[in-house]
Structure 1
């Protein structure tokens, strides 16, 4: 069942088969109608004009990291303290398109690490991939990490064109893998302590990144 506060990703395809993506949140749900805040264009960070009858393909991440899809259209507007759009919603026609058990995506995200055992100097680097379960980071020359080492971790997750969300977590080193050039290495880590709201933001980020990559591949 779809919940209030859920983030929707809306896709709109033009005549040239180009896809524009928007993000919004569900504010109310009554029968076959979803009340959403005004969708924000993911690329520009701005709202657009949406006439009645505008159609979208909608996606969202539900419970247990499952991704759902349904077709929808704008039924009207509602004036309140928060201006809202009304979307048609038929739960019977909603499809579960995949189970997202911490799907991992390639991503270069700023990350800062502080060894809780104070054996390794604190350092900042970039991730090479990320999932709801953990991250892999690029190790700088001379940094060696033993499996089981725990870090206070700060991730800077981009959530919009000019919006960033700071995620504070504890991670544990799993293994280090040497890259093919034999000069750099990748450290795989798992989250051992993370706010579930922050984990959901990471899962949403992975979902949107995968969706974007899939659309580009299918062009």
Structure 2
């Protein structure tokens, strides 16, 4: 089974509603056709959520730097050391692989430290997704296409928590946006946990944008 104990899950209700809330949870036990998860926490409010039996959900997770998703349903609950929800699992062969282009990309001005040719430089992002990041460049900043750099990205969450993402990236292209130079970088070595944190951050920013609209 691709899902193992400790895997972080991103959950939403299987609904076509525009304002579809996002939740996070972790796998605490597995079976042949089911998964036990801890009670999901709303990503925006950080409050625990209680789903009744029969609630249909959409779940995504990362394994070996590849994101997968599946549809499921709450089928029960248990209370051992912690309260748990039981959800159905369709099996590894019925998972949907999420392509890199399908990652949510959000515009955000987060701080990024770049180790470029052995020199640490500070940049501000233009946008970010779980697949890569775009940086605002100064007049003397340049990246050669295909060149590898090391990044440290500071992600500030709604609950005032800050996650630091350390990853290697490759410069893909440099382009212009409103007369500003932008460098697009593709992530090369991102842990499953870091990738999940980026996805969570992007969902939070998406929800904020909808609420502010």
Bin the TM-score by the shorter chain: 0.7 to 0.9
| Structure 1 residues 198 and 136: alpha-carbon distance in aligned structure 2, compared to 1, 3 A threshold | farther
Write out the 4+ residue segments of structure 1 that deviate beyond 4 Å after TM superposition. Answer: 92-95
Kept in 2: contact 1:42–1:161 (CA 8 A):
no
Note the aligned Cα RMSD (angstroms).
3.6
Q: Give the TM-score normalised by the residue count of structure 2.
A: 0.72
Aligned match of 1:41: 42
Matched, 1:144 2:141: yes
Give the superposition deviation at 1:163.
3.0
3-state SS of 2:69 partner: strand
* Cα distance in structure 2, aligned partners of 1:59 and 1:157: 23
| Structure 1 residues 125 and 88: alpha-carbon distance in aligned structure 2, compared to 1, 3 A threshold | closer
Match of 1:185 among 181, 185, 189: 181
Aligned match of 1:89: 88
Aligned match of 1:156: 154
The structure whose Rg is larger is: 1
Match of 1:171 among 169, 172, 178: 169
| Structure 1 residues 46 and 205: alpha-carbon distance in aligned structure 2, compared to 1, 3 A threshold | closer
Q: Give the TM-score normalised by the residue count of structure 1.
A: 0.71
| Structure 1 residues 166 and 3: alpha-carbon distance in aligned structure 2, compared to 1, 3 A threshold | same
- Gap regions ≥5 residues in structure 2: none
* Cα distance in structure 2, aligned partners of 1:13 and 1:191: 29
* Cα distance in structure 2, aligned partners of 1:135 and 1:18: 25
* Cα distance in structure 2, aligned partners of 1:33 and 1:172: 39
Structure number with the bigger relative contact order (C-alpha 8 A, sep ≥ 6) is 2
* Cα distance in structure 1, aligned partners of 2:67 and 2:150: 29
Could you report, residue by residue, the CA deviation over 1:2-37 in whole angstroms, capped at 9, with x for unpaired residues? Answer: 4122222332479x8853322101110123432211
Give the superposition deviation at 1:103.
4.0
Give the superposition deviation at 1:127.
3.5
